[in-house]
Structure 1
Amino acid sequence: MIKISVDQISHKLGSPYYLILGSDPYLQHYAQTELRKAFTHAGFNEQLTFVIDNQTDWTAIFDSCQAMNLFSTNTLISLDFGDGSLNAGITAKLNTLSEVLTPDIALIITLNKITKSQENTIWYKTLSDKLVVVNCTTPDTLQLPQWIKNHLQQQHITIGPKAIELLCYYYEGNLLALTQIIAQLKLLYPDQNISYDEVESNINDSAIFTPYHWTDAMISCKTKRAIHILQQLKINEFEPLILLRIIQRELILMINLKKGLQTKSLKQTFDEYKVWQNKRMIYTNYLNRCDLKSLFNLLAKLTEIEISLKHDNQAQMWDAISSLSMQFMGFDKC
């Protein structure tokens, strides 16, 4: 099995089996398009796509593996799970499918995620020797600048580091809008060397965030980023009560961690509360900045906001959440 990023796909064509793994719609579409073109060039003229859910007619899929086509002996089967996931019933069908595949059948599976236990199933192991796994996860805030640089290089465009930072700020989490603005800039400024002012005059705020981007920014004490994310969540009409629930969970976790550190080591405490490895550093820094009294004060303020939720209008509610966010980051200079 080979694991690659989506921008390496042109170098890994020729395998009969591909697993497009990750939920970014732009990267998924790009990978699917490149693979379909490559298979067409290789003579796979019959290309069938099936959307997989609990109502899928698997008999039609199995039949397509055995049907003789008068115009083509090579068939590409694409299984698109959309936002769905694997369950026991679908896994059993995939196990059966993996056993009936022949050399003249290629397979593309598009799936948002797969667990370690699912990697031990029959179908995954059967395909693994010839399987290419294409990572289509949206680049995070640390990965995005390099992703933009690579994309600009492919488009033969030069944009300075400050302008790339600007693109990251306004288009994080939205690669479709990001690639569209880059294409627009290329049309507007065909000299290939685009200035900061030219980028700034054409951008709009199209970043897509989740509440977990917001809490991570607050825990990391990144004030500007936290404010920007909260503004975008408000623009996209995210439900304030859900934000309160998410930050409540974070505060309760912080309180438990702080209490645990009174009698246990940092590692023991993190292990007890199952804190992900990639978040332990920012949690450690935050815990070093705060104290229990301040955390309980935050929790009390959050409770007040929730009680007033039934009486205050949306504008006042967002102001209260913004104030809470700033207080959350107020233990040290951010």
Structure 2
Amino acid sequence: MNTFYDNLINNLKNQLLSVYILQGKEIILCQESEKIICIYAQKQGYSNKKYFYPINELEWKHIFLIYQMQNIFLKKIILIITIFINDVKNDNYKYIIILLKRINKNIILIIKCYENYFFKKNKIFLHHTYMLGTIVNCVINNKIEFILWFERKINDLKIIMNKKTKKLLYQYYENNLFSLSKILEVISLIYFNSIIKIENIRNIITDEGLFTAYQWAQSVLNGNGIQAIRILNLLHKNNYEPLILIRVLQKILIKIIYQSHNIRTEQKKITKINNNNQILENYNKKKYIHLIYKIIKILTFLEIKIKTNKKCSIWIQLKTLSLILTKYHT
């Protein structure tokens, strides 16, 4: 079965499935889908949750062990696995299919991948998934869907606002559901049970607007250290996943290195990530490539560190790296 985010609640009311694959570039929709599934699962006794970010065979074996232990002790659990797009390789497909074959009634499996329709590329994976569960496409395909999501969100938060205010939010947060969702939550707390006018939120969206990993990376590579640190502070405050920040910056830095060696890159994707072609030109200089290699190694170290110890905080290190890169901006 294949469904969209909009239909998820209706499907859950009818039946709680064993497997949910959440795929799509709209991170907030993936997060909301995960939250909704967990709420319905907890009502049926799945009280524990475990999160995994597997990148190698050893980490997958740890997940298999959890599967085995749950089967022995008959404890109900929700396993949430995040697969980053660079890690979705044949080996990972193999491990996921093994999990699907071992599924039992004590486990709800949620797999997240922040890429649109990526899992369509593996027919064997799709076959096993559709036998046990569904794929939830967490995407907004057009402006109409964006507006419908926005209207539903303000209704859920019981926000009352006039048309001018809505239009301002449309324009300011177009194609940025994550930031729009967070700012609406802030607005609902400040102006609870009152009509919100454009004057009420103008300062909020300019001074307290929440951002995404791409906007942080763009600020860093554009040399705007103050903006980068402010974004990090806001992301930290709202429990943003630091692994996403690491992966985004890694991806952009690797593209810069590729360009320095005259390797052809996909210019449209680069432009989409940073919205500024000057970024690559600024860092595509021999004297900075050595620094970029060091930064990538540090990011890899931080990634291993946080995966080894989920309680470990790396926000100070991310702020330090932001300042280092903005310092060398030209």
User: TM-score per shorter chain, which class?
Assistant: 0.5 to 0.7
Change (3 A) 1:135 1:56: farther
Relative distance call for 1:186 and 1:92 in structure 2 (3 A) is closer
Cα pair 1:16 1:131 within 8 Å, conserved: yes
CA distance in 2, matches of 1:49, 1:208: 21
Aligned: 1:177 with 2:176: no
1:118 aligns with 2:117: no
Matches within 5 A, 1:134-153: 134-137=136-139, 143-153=145-155
Matches within 5 A, 1:1-334: 1-5=1-5, 7-13=6-12, 14-68=16-70, 72-113=74-115, 114-115=117-118, 118-121=121-124, 123-137=125-139, 143-204=145-206
Aligned-partner Cα distance in 2 for 1:210–1:188: 27
Distance in structure 2 (CA, Å) of the matches to 1:166 and 1:209: 23
CA 1:133–1:159 in structure 2 vs 1: closer, same or farther (change >3 Å)? farther
CA contact (8 A) 2:54 2:81 kept: yes
| Structure 1 residue 78, shift from structure 2 partner | 2.0
Q: How many residues align?
A: 245
| Cα deviation, residue 209, structure 1 | 10
Deviation at 1:175, TM superposition (A): 3.3
CA offset digits 1:202-238 (Å, max 9, x no partner):
3216566979xxxxxxxxxxxxxxxxx99x9785789
Q: 1:182 to 1:139 in 2, by over 3 A?
A: farther
Q: In 1, distance between residues paired with 2:213 and 2:106?
A: 42
Q: Is the 8 A contact 2:22 2:137 kept in 1?
A: yes
Who wins on radius of gyration, i.e. which is larger?
1
Amino acid at match of 2:34: Q
Paired with 1:153 and 1:23, the residues of 2 have a C-alpha distance of 24
Q: CA 1:2–1:138 in 2, change beyond 3 Å: closer, same or farther? A: closer
Task: For residues 54-101 of structure 1, give each alpha carbon's deviation from its aligned partner in whole angstroms, at most 9, with x where no partner exists.
Answer: 354322322332325686443322221145442111111222222221
Write the letter of the residue equivalent to 2:190.
L
Give the Cα separation in 2 of the matches to 1:233 and 1:157: 36
Against the structure 1 CA distance between its residues 70 and 97, is the aligned structure 2 distance closer, same or farther, given a 3 Å change threshold?
A: closer
Unaligned runs of 5+ in 2: 229-248, 260-266, 269-277, 287-325
| 2:28–2:181 Cα contact (<8 Å) kept | no
**SS of corresponding position for 1:57:** helix
CA shift in 2, pair 1:97/1:173, >3 Å: same
CA distance in 1, matches of 2:133, 2:73: 27
1-structure distance, mates of 2:212, 2:9? 28
Q: In the TM superposition, what is the alpha-carbon distance from 1:21 to its structure 2 partner?
A: 0.7
TM-score, length-scaled by structure 2: 0.57
Q: Distance in 1 between matches of 2:160 and 2:205?
A: 17
User: What SS class does the counterpart of residue 204 from structure 2 fall into?
Assistant: coil
- Offset of residue 116 of structure 1: 6.4
Q: Which amino acid aligns with 2:92?
A: I
Change in Cα spacing, 1:90 to 1:184, as seen in structure 2 (3 Å) is closer
**Is the alpha carbon distance of 1:171 and 1:62 closer, same or farther for their aligned partners in structure 2, counting shifts above 3 Å?**
same
Give the direction of change, closer, same or farther, for the CA distance of 1:181–1:63 in structure 2 (3 Å limit): closer
Q: Given that residues 70 and 76 in structure 2 are in contact (C-alpha distance below 8 angstroms), is that contact kept between their aligned partners in structure 1?
A: no
Pair 1:181–1:71, CA change in 2 (3 A) = same
Question: C-alpha displacement at 1:103, in angstroms?
Answer: 2.9
Q: In the TM superposition, what is the alpha-carbon distance from 1:120 to its structure 2 partner?
A: 0.7
TM-aligned CA distance change 1:233 to 1:28, over 3 Å = farther
Rounded Cα–Cα distance in structure 2 between residues aligned with 1:69 and 1:46: 14
Which runs of no fewer than 5 residues in structure 1 stay unpaired?
Answer: 212-228, 246-252, 254-274, 276-301, 319-334
Provide the C-alpha distance between the structure 2 equivalents of 1:117 and 1:132, rounded to a whole number of angstroms: 12
